[in-house]
Structure 1
Amino acid sequence: MTRNRITMFKQTILAVFLLISISSFSQDFSNLWEGYFSYFNVKDVTEGNDKVYAAAENAIFSYDLLTNELETITTIEGLSGRIIQTIEYSEEFQLLMIGYDNGLIEIYFESNSEILSVVDILEKESISPGLKGINHFNEYNGLVYISTDYGISAYDLNRLEFGDTYFIGNGGTQIKVNQTTILNNEIYAACSNNGGVRKALLDMGDLIDYQQWQGLTVGGDYVSIQRVEDKVYTVRSNKALFEVLNNNLNQLFVYTDLPIDTRKVNTNLVITTENDVFVYDENFNLIENASVNSEFDTQFTTATIVDSQVYIGTISLGILQTHISNTNEYISIKPDGPTSNTAFKIQSGINDLWVTYGDYTEFFNSFPLRQRGLSYLSEEQWNNIPFDSLLTARNLVDIAINPFNPNQVFISSFKDGILEMNNGEATILYNQDNSGLESLFNPNFPNFIGIRQSASQFDASGVMWTLTSKVKKPLKSYDPNSGQWQAFSFEEIIPNEFDELGFGDLALDANGNKWIASYSNGVIGYSSTGEIKKLFSEEQNMPSSVVKSVAIDDRNQLWIGTFKGLRVLYNTSNFFDDPDPTASTIVILDDGIPTELLSNQFITDIKVDGSNNKWVGTLDSGIFYFSPDGQETIYHFTTSNSPLPSNSITDISIDPGNGRVYISTSRGLVSFSSGGTKPEEELENAYVYPNPVRPEYNILGSNDLNNINNGIKIKGLTENVNIKITDIEGNLVTEAQSRVNLRSSKANYNFAIDGGTAIWNGKNLGNNIVASGVYLVLISDLDSFETKVLKLLIVR
């Protein structure tokens, strides 16, 4: 097996190895992305080169023992985003090996930050996908013996290629190997699947022959095996520790909890259970015992020792550091990040982001109830609020930020009502006793309380609209200024409230109409005058009555995401008067053939940016970025061409101030700087940057205005402007107009305006890069006739 891939973001590959195929992003957008991964749950640790490396769920962080600095390695740097199972640092080769649950191996070269993706196991067709997990790396004489769910594979670190694979089960069958160790030129393997402990001579040269592997036990499941000096220790699944003596097992100790990590550090044996770390000398004398305590209430996962300091991986506190002679005191070490990688909903304000971790299924089942707290990002710092600070509100889901008071945030609970947060602190939980909210009523359980609150949105007047499932009046409004609640019935179209499983997304249009995504009734429209209607049937051109997401764009058109595709309601104004309203399919030309856009795709979310472009998330195909009419795909990001950790998009939110697009996936949160900002009301704060444009910026001449790393930006624009750029003598250099010169246009403009931002590649009307000099930026609002003049200096 010799097929490897190199994923690279930062540098040009200087050497190409034999039989290595190279894959990289078609365009380098790496510095447009940011990652926000959780580092609370540490799966494995390793040490080397004066650093401790820790594997979180799908990201790596290192702790420099000399400087105390933390660095991260994530999908932004090229990791796959898959679930990590084990890591190992090689001092000899100065590299970090990373093993994943699906058989992928990645090698991080510390010298140049390159990542080599080894896909041989992942793509091996003769091995079942469920048997490819990487369990352990054992480096010995330039080879790494890789313990997997099917057996053992050898990898040559000198040549960066695979050697043999050993199926060591009875009759040469595949068997799960959890760990290997080597003593006196013999390799020992701890096996599951009743495989016991097995060993073979390394110099036999024929380890591929299963008959060379001797069974030291009659069956049994063994979770680990490790050499310390001239002794070999192994742990059985019954929590018992054995020493291997003369091919027999001598039981030494039985632990209260199953040891989940066994390793050799210098001359010490380190054994980790979920509540304790035990450190033994080479003669199995207990040196120290570190335990979970009331202040650091967590579960241990792994541990190592460097210079008398014990570094313990945990499921909720990152790494805990303690001294081997005083294990009563801990220091928590982890990079800044959210509580979890499994965000349910996200909501961005201006320069901040809120994240919830509650949940309900696609069938709106809220059980089991989640008590997971909240996270919010502010001033580039994560604030993680535990459940016990949130007034007992469970299953926190949707988020609504008051646009007139951004410090006031309302969090929907799909069980307990609505939680109001002020300045990051929970102040009141609205429920059936103190608000207009109401619980569902189940006659079979008359005392049951369940306020299934989902989406909430603020309208232009500062009133919050919110949805409650399983009640007769599911649409409610709340005015934070007056404290008044109102409720609106859906009985006209849903006579029995239990006939609708639940309501998800909510959008408000320019005419005051409410558009509601439902599970059984498609899109429900509720007009500002109290009319109600739904769009759900095949006769109305709906591919499914199950609607997941709705969004209103700048043209007051309704974009609809269903379980089976995308639709648009172009005429929302006449929807309630039209006796036979229908949704429209977006048809594009694919190699000249008319094709329905996103046909049969499970659409998970739709968001509209300041340029009126559409971000559309899917269940398993990544995220799409479309032009305002959907006819052009500006980007299609997946795990194979971007830092997305998963192709399953759970939610999208856009910062209206800077156009940054936050993307929540099933395995973590990332963001992308698209540049599509919201227009301003006036031109007063319009500005141009960078200014001056210096030669070292190297931003002029790019033909791709969608890459906002290039080009000169003009921000703070109003909705409908014309911009002329002239030289100091008044000669026209270039010109652009809102809604005409769009970045996504096939015309490949040199100067384009999208929403509140314009971008110019520095070329004139003759398509040549302009010379050094002073240029005037003349901005005219075509609606209000407001004008503004900016000066720009270009130095080439």
Structure 2
Amino acid sequence: MRQLYIVVLLMFNFIYLKAQDFTSWTEHLPYRKATHLVANNKNIFCLTQSGLFSYSLTDNEIVSYTKAKGLSDVNITAIGWSEEQNSLLLGYDNGNLDLIKDNEIINISEINKFSTIDNKTINSITVSGGFAYLGTDFGIVLLNIDKEEITDTYIIGAGGKRLKVNDVVLSSNEIWAASEEGIYNAMLNSTNLVDFNNWNLVTNIPASNRECKDLEFIGNDLFVLRSTFGTTSEIYKLTNNIWSEFQSNTSQIYSIKNINNNLWLCQSDIIKELSVNGTQQSSITLNDNDDFRDVYQINDRVFIADYERSLIENQGSSYEVIKPDGPMRSDISSVHSVGDQTWAVAGNHDDLYQNVNTPAELFLFESKNWKNFTQENTEDLSGKFDLVDITSNQRNESRIYTASWGDGIFFFENQELKANWNSSNSPLDSKGVISMSSDSDGNLWVLDANSNDAIKVLSYEGEWNSIPYNSLSNQLDMQKIIALENGDKWVLRAVGKSLFAFNENGTIANKDDDVSASFSVRDENNSTITSQVYDLVEDKDGSVWLATSSGVVVYADPGTIFRNGDFYAYRPIITIEGSTQFLLSTEKVISITTNGANQKWLGTESSGAFLVSENGDEQLAHFNTNNSPLPSNKIDKISVNPGTGEVFFVTDKGLVSYRGKVTEGTDDYSDLYVYPNPVRETYKGDVTVSGLITDSTVKITDVSGNLVWEGKSEGGQFIWNGKNFNGSRVHTGVYLIFCSNSDGSKSKVIKLLFIH
């Protein structure tokens, strides 16, 4: 595949002046499942299940269109192009509509705001003259493109019944609608198309109430695509008011299109070009992975929307896959960051703990690019499924482990697959691995499903051991294991069950000196706080934080479970707008992690993500679908890249990241640097000092020693806005940046050239 790259349209610079600033966000979308194509004389636009992108027909540039770059929403369901208005139209599943024209994105939200209609999905966009006819889940909506306003809504069903409209076409004097209950038409010169009495069900076609998917005119002949029994399709042709069967009982047809007065139809494994008389003129097949959904011809170039691979340009004896950079899938099951890398995997099991059969694939984000390990380029992943967890080795960060549901553990080192441990070559049982965690000695602790010995451990040297605990035996619904810095291991069992902790006393092979305990989440008065726990993490102070159905719970001294001291949990207290309350007490928190400053990122079931202070007593940020490009308010997993500070959010609708200002602290100042350097006169952003020891004191002076700014680093990074204490941008000159750790035992000075 040719190396292609993403560029951001200049129009988005204008958009940011009008909308929220989402420049710190990135959507990491797969762009694989392509469904629809439209084009102008410069670009072809490809709609996928994850998002929209365009491909330049002249210089091969790819432009992705996302909420972070100015779109009003996510989940685009329809696209259209107006040649007359030089405009791109985007319809969404919630009725939102974006109009991109004259270097501006205009959101038209009237449909979205229809309070009496529940299902508002825009299914198709048909442009004619200065108008766009929108096929929606409730009827047809007419848009005046020039005026950027909705002018009419047509409810076409008998008696005013709202019908789902899949497509709309126009002849010289009629409008036709492909609906869920057959074909409806009306005269265009009717004085009142809003009146359902002026719409007629076409009854002279066999099975007239059958759902129609697509309509296409070739000359005066009308072709209609209908689904018959779910997996088969038929096409009928209307000529001189007489319907005839054109294609019958074929494998499913996804779309039909008039290209040069021939009918092109897309089936999963073949694209056929047929004359109006049904004679096949040509066909396209590529390989066994074909999953065609739409086709478009521009001059002699043929482009295909493929549900498995994305946009394809057919080149006769060969083809080229065209798509933006991104992970292969959106249904991410686990994400893990180490060094300056972020790894993700996809897969799961169903409610009966059977595989959902997502192909085993790993996705690596590094240096702002994705590298995908697939069954095509990593042979030993072939035929394997459902990766459910991923982690690294604390002793050697180049060692990556990913757990599967049924196919064991895959071990990568330096990005090469070295081993696959499973039930045939290790103590692992065959059902599936639930979770893994590395300790500081490099041992990998494994939570094995449906096993007599649920705890398995792989030493750094490669030796396997099993540790039996009756409380964990033969369980399928456990959630997570973590290895604490004090040597204890905590197991998060099923929601509603007690937690479990153990310590092997440093002698993995000797079970006689182990200690273990099951415990409920109780406060200092021995009262139960909650039994609904979904995630847990150890912070940099050694405290264990729990994500629960009623907010956050903390064990400040978790080691006391096996040692002297009182073992209990507490709920952090926060004051918001004068109201003192338990931290997120009304929220179901389902994911939790820490950043380089020991602040806590909290993911909720339905309210997005929160960033709180180290102790949880201050809310620092709150992101949701209304104020960020998050595609969903359900935050399943969170991972913070320690090298870059980028925060990755796994949602039920895809992966996004936020460029946070906190990175992991370093042990010394050997990698200290400042960027940009020099600061040019055209640059108006922040200046970042990186490679700092946590909680460093940073002082910025001019060469004469005058202090212009100072502060403390959060984690390993310090952000300066380029202004002095008076709020004025500093003058042109060389500035010295003095950095020292908290006790002054380590320090370093670097220089910065600042041009005003």
Aligned ranges 1:153-552 → 2 under 5 Å: 153-192=141-180, 195-217=181-203, 218-238=208-228, 239-254=233-248, 256-281=250-275, 285-294=279-288, 297-322=289-314, 326=316, 329-360=318-349, 365-387=353-375, 389-390=380-381, 392-437=383-428, 439=429, 449-450=430-431, 452-480=432-460, 482-491=461-470, 494=471, 497-498=473-474, 500-519=475-494, 520-527=496-503, 529=505, 530-537=514-521, 543-552=529-538
* Contact residue 611 and residue 677 of structure 1 kept, 8 A: yes
Whole-angstrom distance in 2 between the partners of 1:527 and 1:80 = 51
Whole-angstrom distance in 2 between the partners of 1:568 and 1:39 = 40
Whole-angstrom distance in 1 between the partners of 2:690 and 2:611 = 21
Question: Structure 1 residues 538, 402: CA separation in 2 closer, same or farther (over 3 Å shift)?
Answer: closer
Aligned ranges 1:557-572 → 2 under 5 Å: 557-572=543-558
**1:435 to partner: Cα distance:** 2.4
* Contact residue 522 and residue 546 of structure 1 kept, 8 A: no
Partner of 1:706: none
* Contact residue 610 and residue 676 of structure 1 kept, 8 A: yes
* Contact residue 212 and residue 225 of structure 2 kept, 8 A: yes
Deviations along 1:97-125, one digit per CA (max 9) or x if unpaired, are 1223332322233x42x333332222312
Partner of 2:630: 644
Q: 2:646 aligns with which of 660, 670, 684?
A: 660
TM-score norm. by structure 1 comes to 0.85
Partner of 1:62: 54
The one-letter code of the counterpart of 1:399 is: I
Question: Structure 1 residues 766, 574: CA separation in 2 closer, same or farther (over 3 Å shift)?
Answer: farther
The one-letter code of the counterpart of 1:344 is: S
Structure 1 gaps, min length 5: 1-7, 15-21, 440-448, 700-709, 736-750
Deviations along 1:47-75, one digit per CA (max 9) or x if unpaired, are 11321100011311111111122211122
Whole-angstrom distance in 2 between the partners of 1:220 and 1:713 = 62
Question: Structure 1 residues 225, 543: CA separation in 2 closer, same or farther (over 3 Å shift)?
Answer: farther
**1:578 to partner: Cα distance:** 6.4
Question: Structure 1 residues 391, 402: CA separation in 2 closer, same or farther (over 3 Å shift)?
Answer: farther
Aligned ranges 1:773-788 → 2 under 5 Å: 773-783=733-743, 785-788=745-748
The share of aligned pairs that are identical, in percent, is: 29
Deviations along 1:197-235, one digit per CA (max 9) or x if unpaired, are 221111112111222122222423222211112221112
* Contact residue 541 and residue 584 of structure 1 kept, 8 A: no
Tell me the secondary structure at the aligned position of residue 260 of structure 1: strand
Question: Structure 1 residues 575, 768: CA separation in 2 closer, same or farther (over 3 Å shift)?
Answer: farther
Deviations along 1:152-209, one digit per CA (max 9) or x if unpaired, are 11111111111221111122211222212111211112222xx322211111121112
**1:412 to partner: Cα distance:** 0.8
Whole-angstrom distance in 2 between the partners of 1:364 and 1:457 = 25
Deviations along 1:349-376, one digit per CA (max 9) or x if unpaired, are 2332222111146x68343343342222
Tell me the secondary structure at the aligned position of residue 76 of structure 1: helix
Structure 2 gaps, min length 5: 1-10, 506-513
Give the stretch that moved more between structures: 162-171 or 417-426. 417-426
Deviations along 1:715-768, one digit per CA (max 9) or x if unpaired, are 212235333333333344444xxxxxxxxxxxxxxx331111122334445665
Tell me the secondary structure at the aligned position of residue 737 of structure 2: strand
**1:643 to partner: Cα distance:** 1.4
* Contact residue 337 and residue 640 of structure 2 kept, 8 A: yes
The one-letter code of the counterpart of 2:169 is: T
**1:306 to partner: Cα distance:** 0.9
Whole-angstrom distance in 2 between the partners of 1:418 and 1:321 = 37
Aligned ranges 1:87-126 → 2 under 5 Å: 87-109=79-101, 111-112=102-103, 114-126=104-116
Give the stretch that moved more between structures: 69-78 or 252-261. 252-261
* Contact residue 43 and residue 86 of structure 1 kept, 8 A: no
Q: 1:37 aligns with which of 26, 29, 41?
A: 29
**1:281 to partner: Cα distance:** 4.4
**1:537 to partner: Cα distance:** 4.4
**1:538 to partner: Cα distance:** 5.8
* Contact residue 150 and residue 167 of structure 1 kept, 8 A: yes
Whole-angstrom distance in 1 between the partners of 2:199 and 2:170 = 14
Question: Structure 1 residues 13, 315: CA separation in 2 closer, same or farther (over 3 Å shift)?
Answer: closer
Question: Structure 1 residues 752, 108: CA separation in 2 closer, same or farther (over 3 Å shift)?
Answer: farther
Partner of 1:599: 585
Q: 2:63 aligns with which of 67, 71, 81?
A: 71
Give the stretch that moved more between structures: 616-625 or 380-389. 380-389
- Is 2:14 the counterpart of 1:11? yes
Q: 1:143 aligns with which of 106, 109, 131?
A: 131
- Is 2:702 the counterpart of 1:727? yes
Tell me the secondary structure at the aligned position of residue 371 of structure 2: strand
Whole-angstrom distance in 2 between the partners of 1:467 and 1:334 = 38
The one-letter code of the counterpart of 2:545 is: W
Aligned residues: 724
Whole-angstrom distance in 2 between the partners of 1:406 and 1:102 = 43
Whole-angstrom distance in 1 between the partners of 2:250 and 2:244 = 19
Tell me the secondary structure at the aligned position of residue 10 of structure 1: helix
Partner of 1:50: 42
Tell me the secondary structure at the aligned position of residue 318 of structure 2: strand
Question: Structure 1 residues 472, 266: CA separation in 2 closer, same or farther (over 3 Å shift)?
Answer: same
CA RMSD of aligned residues (A): 2.6
Whole-angstrom distance in 1 between the partners of 2:224 and 2:608 = 44
The one-letter code of the counterpart of 1:84 is: I
**1:414 to partner: Cα distance:** 2.4
The one-letter code of the counterpart of 1:333 is: I
* Contact residue 543 and residue 565 of structure 1 kept, 8 A: no
Partner of 2:692: 717
**1:543 to partner: Cα distance:** 4.6
* Contact residue 776 and residue 792 of structure 1 kept, 8 A: yes
Whole-angstrom distance in 2 between the partners of 1:410 and 1:278 = 45
Question: Structure 1 residues 153, 722: CA separation in 2 closer, same or farther (over 3 Å shift)?
Answer: closer
Question: Structure 1 residues 633, 277: CA separation in 2 closer, same or farther (over 3 Å shift)?
Answer: same
Question: Structure 1 residues 764, 528: CA separation in 2 closer, same or farther (over 3 Å shift)?
Answer: farther
The one-letter code of the counterpart of 1:525 is: A
The one-letter code of the counterpart of 1:290 is: I
Question: Structure 1 residues 13, 770: CA separation in 2 closer, same or farther (over 3 Å shift)?
Answer: closer
Tell me the secondary structure at the aligned position of residue 250 of structure 2: coil
Question: Structure 1 residues 49, 360: CA separation in 2 closer, same or farther (over 3 Å shift)?
Answer: same
Tell me the secondary structure at the aligned position of residue 647 of structure 2: strand
Question: Structure 1 residues 214, 761: CA separation in 2 closer, same or farther (over 3 Å shift)?
Answer: closer
The one-letter code of the counterpart of 1:422 is: E
